Amino acid sequence: MPIAIPLEELPVYTAENIPHTSIDFSKGGIFLIDKPKRWSSFKVVRKLRKFIDLKKIGHAGTLDPMATGLLVLCVGKATKSIQFIQNKEKEYMADILFGATTPSYDAETEIEKTAPTDHITLNTIKETLSKEFNGSIEQIPPMYSAVKHKGKRLYKLARKGQTVERKKRVVTIYDTEIMNFYNPELKLRVVCSKGTYVRSLAYDLGEKLKSHAYLTALRRTRTGSYKIEQALTIQKLEEIFQQ
């Protein structure tokens, strides 16, 4: 079995270290991409495959189509190192709306329940985050997720109107920071472990505050030491590889 190449030995292609068409990408490399809204993570993979003419590409942590931000792609021999990047902590900027919830816990589906928000204050949010969303916590994956139940993706069951019991998962919340709060809108910075559903965090936060809440926007800003400020846009990639 091939040995994974240490991350520090892999070239990282960014807005400053721009890839060149003459490079043999099969030898391994990491691309930092700013995923656009409405794009699936796999659509970004397909786009890069077309650009560099290489099938061996994988992403180190998916992003929902609604989400934007840092998508780390490993190419060629670097795909053996994906797990090491996936295990690194992630940072997100989350826009949360109190007073309503949706089946998907985000803006991808229609509002199904509403609740009052007048009682929610900056202090109650701070206290709840500190008490309930700090360190190791349990989460239930949303029905609209790629988790499998008896071999079928949950989101496929959800689209048919089905709901099944999901097992709780233990994830870690390393840090939360309130960036802005103007009731009922909250902007929250979240630093968390692999496997954390920020959508579930938004939903659970609403429930703990005796209301409802859902995610209206999400942007991944960091994976380990890789930052969104370094990322290449799809437009920039097109400029590079279509010249």
Neighbours of 102 (CB within 10 A): 22
Q: How far apart are CA 141 and CA 200, in angstroms?
A: 7
Q: Are 124 and 139 in contact (CB under 8 A)?
A: no
The torsion angles phi and psi of 93, rounded to 5 degrees, stand at -110, 120
- Catalytic residue, chosen from 34, 53, 64, 175, is 64
H or E, element range at 32: strand 29-35
Tokens 């009731």 correspond to 183
* Residue 118: active-site member: no
Q: Are 93 and 221 in contact (CB under 8 A)?
A: yes
Q: How far apart are CA 58 and CA 80, in angstroms?
A: 10
106 DSSP 8-state letter: B
Catalytic residues, which ones? 64
